[in-house]
Structure 1
Amino acid sequence: MIAAFITTAAVFVTIIALYFLLDVRKEKQEWKKRVNQLYQDGEKRKSAIVLLGDRFDRTEYAKPIQKRLLEANIPFTPSEYIGALVVAYMGVIIVLNNFFSISFPINFILAGLLLEGAKKLVFLLRKNKMKERFIEQLPQICRTLANGTRSGMTLTQSINLVVQEVNQPAKGEFKRMANELALGIDFTVALRSMEKRIDSREFRLFEATLLIQKKAGGNLFAVLDEMGQTLEERKLLQQEIKTMTAEQRYVAYIVPVIPIFLVLMMNNVIDGFLDPLFSGLGIILFLLFLTGTILTFILVRKVTNIKV
């Protein structure tokens, strides 16, 4: 009898505790909702810096920067890119001053040169990165178009299917093509317009296949399926080549960095170590070093850039 009473009382107390716990959580959620409405007024507020950045992104000066960032597949807005450059510039100045004992104005000049070289290198390495990703998606695009045509869809309907199935950047390009076709632009004109934006051998082959099949007719499914397999094999071969030449490519990046790092470290250990570098003979040797380093980097990149 006592055990049953204790069990009933424990269950009753547990139910009451749960009730009060849920009531407290509900009040907490309502309090947070009122605070958000009070301070944010239902919208996310932006700081003055963000608003200035948004205004800069809409200017004519920001358009070429945005274009370069898109071509290099860098997910920054122009204002974020400029802000990153400023922060990086100040960071390099602080590092040169504190760790390598390079004072004003040499640290400002050297930081600008290093930042400009790093910027050029980043854009050089990521140039056509979006095109490469698009080419990597071509096998999937061919298979999607082939499956669409086999199921009875027209080529235009299959292109809309590609828009739904593939990811960026191919999704954006084919969505633009689908919109152009919906506006009444000829299929050949829309496809050649895309070819000018992509500008690669693989896509030119893809374009020629579609145009020939559209004019001459034939089994489009079989042609697209075979092309997808061929492009997939090319993709695997290119990945194998990149794996085999990875060591040489990383050597091309490391070799120019090592002597610069050693010179800066020696300047930190020995006062005035860089002073002879800014004399007449030192400037000539510095220019010869830069020329040799750049040529070495270009030659190694040329050797390891094997085209299939």
Structure 2
Amino acid sequence: MSSTVAILYSLAVLSLLTSIYFYLGYRNDKKEWIHKVKEWYPAEERKSFISKLGERFDEQKSSSNLRNKLQNANLKLLPSEYIGVIFVGYLILFVLFFSIFNMPIRISFLLSLAIVFVSHYLLFYIRKNNYEMRFNEQLSEVCRILANASRSGLTVNQGIDIVAREVNAPAGEQFKRISNELKLGVSLEATLRAVQKRNKSRDFNLFIATLLIQKKTGGNLALTFETMANTFEDRKLLAQSIKTMTSEQKYISFIVPILPIFLLLIMNNVIDGFIEPLWSGIGIFMLILFLATIVLSFLIIRKITDIKV
């Protein structure tokens, strides 16, 4: 009798463990299927009126110019999102001037508008080549991968496919596009020429010209890529050294315009009517001269520190 109870007890424990095992396997398979279904059929979230209006603005051709500027400045924002940031920044400046610095409402309105307008152009002026700089910094890695692929006996198209998978943005996105066009049957030269029209980088143009010439004339392609990789790395080190040496002057270019304006607003907050003489005849002339001198000093310092490698 006792042996029968022991056998039944053992079978019950075995059944329990088997049930737990299959239940855990079922839960794991269920999670994987739910994940795949969400990837294949993403659920559309309910969007607000502002989101729909922003999407409609992003789809228009008029926003393409702003989208290109944001890409060249390496700002991961949609045109509608950038417009929203500009609007919020304007409201903050207006409240700051009117409520904290006690400036007249008309002056607060015009001054906030002028600062937002100038900041918009200065942002794209300062970061106009940021995307290109990040792209150039990755060219040495791209050449290393292509050189290793060539040594392994792979073709240029296969090497570009490896670059598209291994390299991060922004170079990875460009080479992913090149790889997709090559898979569709577009020739390598036509694909590279199309990318060359979109990317005006001097280093990338050198890379394309060397690749096309080497492909037509033949030769040791791996050695060519290795040489280009060394050249791009030396240029990157030189550019980094110049950036380090001129970083102090670049910060001064921001401090010089901001400090006098900040002191002027502080004095107006401490002494009532401190800036009222600026709205008279000669005061407006001095104000324009003051602002023009500040902008000119900023541009001169930035031009001096902008050393091309």
TM-score where L is the length of structure 2: 0.82
| Structural mapping, 1:219-238, within 5 Å | 219-238=220-239
| Structural mapping, 1:159-308, within 5 Å | 159-308=160-309
1:90 paired residue number? 91
Where 1:45 maps in the other structure, the secondary structure is coil
Looking at structure 1, the residues matched to 200 and 66 of structure 2 have their Cα atoms a distance apart, in angstroms, of 21
Opposite residue 256 of structure 1, the aligned amino acid is P
Deviation at 1:46, TM superposition (A): 2.3
1:147 paired residue number? 148
Deviation at 1:267, TM superposition (A): 1.1
Looking at structure 1, the residues matched to 217 and 135 of structure 2 have their Cα atoms a distance apart, in angstroms, of 27
Deviation at 1:160, TM superposition (A): 0.9
Looking at structure 1, the residues matched to 163 and 117 of structure 2 have their Cα atoms a distance apart, in angstroms, of 40
Opposite residue 102 of structure 1, the aligned amino acid is M
Looking at structure 1, the residues matched to 206 and 278 of structure 2 have their Cα atoms a distance apart, in angstroms, of 53
* Fraction of identical pairs, as percent: 49
Looking at structure 2, the residues matched to 80 and 43 of structure 1 have their Cα atoms a distance apart, in angstroms, of 20
Looking at structure 2, the residues matched to 303 and 226 of structure 1 have their Cα atoms a distance apart, in angstroms, of 32
Opposite residue 53 of structure 1, the aligned amino acid is G
Listed one character per residue, the Cα deviations across residues 19-67 of structure 1 (whole Å, up to 9, x for unaligned) are xxxxxxxxxxxxxxxxxxxxxxx75332232222222222233322222
Deviation at 1:239, TM superposition (A): 0.6
1:6 paired residue number? none
Listed one character per residue, the Cα deviations across residues 136-175 of structure 1 (whole Å, up to 9, x for unaligned) are 0000000011111111111111111110110111111112
Which range moves more in the overlay, 93-102 or 62-71?
62-71
| Number of residue pairs the alignment of both structures matches | 267
Looking at structure 2, the residues matched to 278 and 122 of structure 1 have their Cα atoms a distance apart, in angstroms, of 29
| Structural mapping, 1:21-170, within 5 Å | 44-170=45-171
Looking at structure 2, the residues matched to 217 and 60 of structure 1 have their Cα atoms a distance apart, in angstroms, of 43
Looking at structure 1, the residues matched to 152 and 232 of structure 2 have their Cα atoms a distance apart, in angstroms, of 22
Looking at structure 2, the residues matched to 43 and 132 of structure 1 have their Cα atoms a distance apart, in angstroms, of 37
Gaps of 5+ in 1: 1-41
Opposite residue 192 of structure 2, the aligned amino acid is L
Looking at structure 1, the residues matched to 55 and 282 of structure 2 have their Cα atoms a distance apart, in angstroms, of 49
Looking at structure 2, the residues matched to 262 and 114 of structure 1 have their Cα atoms a distance apart, in angstroms, of 16
Deviation at 1:114, TM superposition (A): 0.9
Opposite residue 271 of structure 1, the aligned amino acid is D
Opposite residue 142 of structure 1, the aligned amino acid is C
Looking at structure 1, the residues matched to 137 and 199 of structure 2 have their Cα atoms a distance apart, in angstroms, of 12
Which range moves more in the overlay, 101-110 or 121-130?
121-130
Deviation at 1:99, TM superposition (A): 1.5
Where 1:168 maps in the other structure, the secondary structure is coil
